[in-house]
Amino acid sequence: MADNHSKEQRSYNMSRIRSKDNKPEDLVRKYLFSKGFRYRKNVRKLPGCPDIVLSKYKTVIFVNGCFWHKHDCPRFVWPSSNQDYWIPKITRNVERDIINHNLLRLQGWNVIVVWECELKKSVRENRLERLIKEIISSQHEISK
Ligand SMILES: [Zn+2]
């Protein structure tokens, strides 16, 4: 098959493949599972196809890459080349995130975003402990 992909598309695909090797969402899933939480993965019928859905806690978790979702952290920098491709692409991602999170909240879901940079070894434990508190406190809000 001829390679009709543009250079940008190819590098995008390559980064998708790389990101599958060390899926940060699996790290979060494994931690939650070890703490006794049960969840569904990649629920397509919910807006934005959340990575983790904890129905019991009416909570969805997105594990977001800092680059793809334009996190306000040092990991996000606009690429210096192919800006005509990247700026609209990343901007669309951010817009979609806002829309999806709002739709989920309207449906009564507690929406939590875990950023890839928060899963660095040095800060991971702290973030994951806080995540559990965020999940559990959401249940109290619902039962009020
Ligand atoms: Zn970040």
Per-residue pLDDT tens digits for 8-17 = 555 555 555 5
Residue 69 backbone dihedrals phi, psi, to 5 degrees: -115, 15
Q: What pLDDT does residue 138 have?
A: 78
Q: Distance, CA 71 to ligand 1 centroid (Å)? A: 5
* pLDDT per position as a tens digit, 36-55: 999 999 999 999 999 999 99
Q: Is the separation of the CB atoms in 35 and 28 below 8 Å? A: no
- Burial of 12 from C-beta contacts in 10 A (0-12 / 13-18 / 19+): middle
Task: Report the alpha-carbon distance of residue 109 to residue 31 in Å, rounded.
Answer: 21
The C-alpha atoms of residue 73 and residue 34 are separated, in whole angstroms, by 29
Class of domain 55-134: alpha beta
CA of 93 to the centre of ligand 1 (A): 15
